[in-house]
Amino acid sequence: MLAFLIRRISQSVMVLLVMSMLVFVGVFYIGNPIDILIAPDATPAEYARAVKDLGLDKPMLTQYGIFLKDALHGDLGNSFVYNEPALKLIMQRMPATMELAVTAMLMAVFIGIPLGMLAGIKHDTMLGRSIMRFSILGFSLPTFWVGLMFIILFSVQLGWLPSGGRGTTVELLGVPVSFLTWDGIQHLILPAMNLALFKTSLAIRLSRAGVQENLQMDYVKFAKAKGLSNTRIIGLHVMKNIMIPVITVLGMEFGGLIAFAVVTETIFSWPGMGKLVIDSIGVLDRPVIVAYLLITVTMFIIINLLVDIIYSILDPRVRLGDQN
């Protein structure tokens, strides 16, 4: 286990290094942020001053060197636009995104898996077919369209839920969260549903396939022959077996949920980090873009690691140290 962890971490550092280089070169070649940030009537002298102030007059390699040196001290640079540390800006926005992603994930797990299992057991009935049709919709409708439909239906027509924003937050262990106030929950429901739709469909399909496959297996027949109740067979034995692929896939998807919640965040003006990075890309705020991508990569690495560990707990045959 320890050897596995050490190997994994050293690989991750390499990935981060390569990533930072790619991103840095990429944004460098897109253009000069000053052209977008500066007032158009600024004189050439003011332009030159702004370029110098932000350190953009140095050659790319020097800029990258400075970035690497500061990064080793935990400083990913100051945002050009906000003049505050990029890391701080992202961390400020992270709780909002995490809250949205976790709620969406919980919805996907607690709605998607039971529905999927139901569809698997009753695959020939109306119910089973309806669940599958719903999942096809969830897969194929574009997120932004569904989001706008949610707003039109639930906020504009029915007036039940707010159309956007985050609502009242309270501090929980120093982190502002909105799921502890009624106002906050109301603001959370629509964006979380919007974000959860695709993952719920995914969970339905995975668990349905898993249940159907497992019901054909010898161990189920054996359990039936032994006289175990259906509830026990499905609720315990089948459930345990289908969880492995479901957790692997959803674990991977969770990273994507955090990193790419941006469409939902934009539609519901949810103050998360996805919205921050889109705004930053719009004005080429290099430090924020680089910091965001590095944080995202780190997050994917950690999630993959956790998935592997959970995997080994669920299925003792998987031994982490043996992966080569």
Interface residues with other proteins (CB under 8 A) are: 30-47, 49-50, 53-54, 78, 80-84, 89, 92-93, 96, 148, 151-152, 155-156, 159, 162-166, 169, 266-269, 271-272, 275-276, 279, 281-284
Q: Which of 117, 263, 132 is nearest to 201 (CA)?
A: 132
Residue type, 99: E
Least distance to other proteins, CB of residue 45, Å: 6
How far is the C-alpha of 13 from the C-alpha of 64, rounded, in Å?
Answer: 17
Residues contacting 225, CB < 8 A, separation 6+ = none
Least distance to other proteins, CB of residue 220, Å: 49
Pick between residue 176 and residue 256 the one whose CB is nearest to other proteins.
176
How far is the C-alpha of 19 from the C-alpha of 293, rounded, in Å?
Answer: 8
Least distance to other proteins, CB of residue 277, Å: 11
Pick between residue 37 and residue 215 the one whose CB is nearest to other proteins.
37
Are the CB atoms for 261 and 276 separated by under 8 Å?
no
Q: What is the dihedral sign for C-alpha 265, 271, 277, 278? A: positive
Phi/psi of residue 318, nearest 5 degrees: -80, 120
Pick between residue 120 and residue 164 the one whose CB is nearest to other proteins.
164
Least distance to other proteins, CB of residue 105, Å: 22
Least distance to other proteins, CB of residue 29, Å: 10
Pick between residue 273 and residue 301 the one whose CB is nearest to other proteins.
273
Least distance to other proteins, CB of residue 36, Å: 5
Q: Which of 137, 117, 113 is nearest to 200 (CA)?
A: 113
Pick between residue 87 and residue 132 the one whose CB is nearest to other proteins.
87
Pick between residue 159 and residue 227 the one whose CB is nearest to other proteins.
159
Least distance to other proteins, CB of residue 147, Å: 9
How far is the C-alpha of 37 from the C-alpha of 288, rounded, in Å?
Answer: 15
Pick between residue 199 and residue 275 the one whose CB is nearest to other proteins.
275
Q: Please name the residue ranges forming H helices in the chain.
A: 2-30, 34-37, 44-53, 60-72, 86-107, 113-121, 126-140, 143-150, 182-215, 218-226, 230-232, 239-259, 262-267, 273-282, 286-314
Residue 81 is classified by DSSP as: T
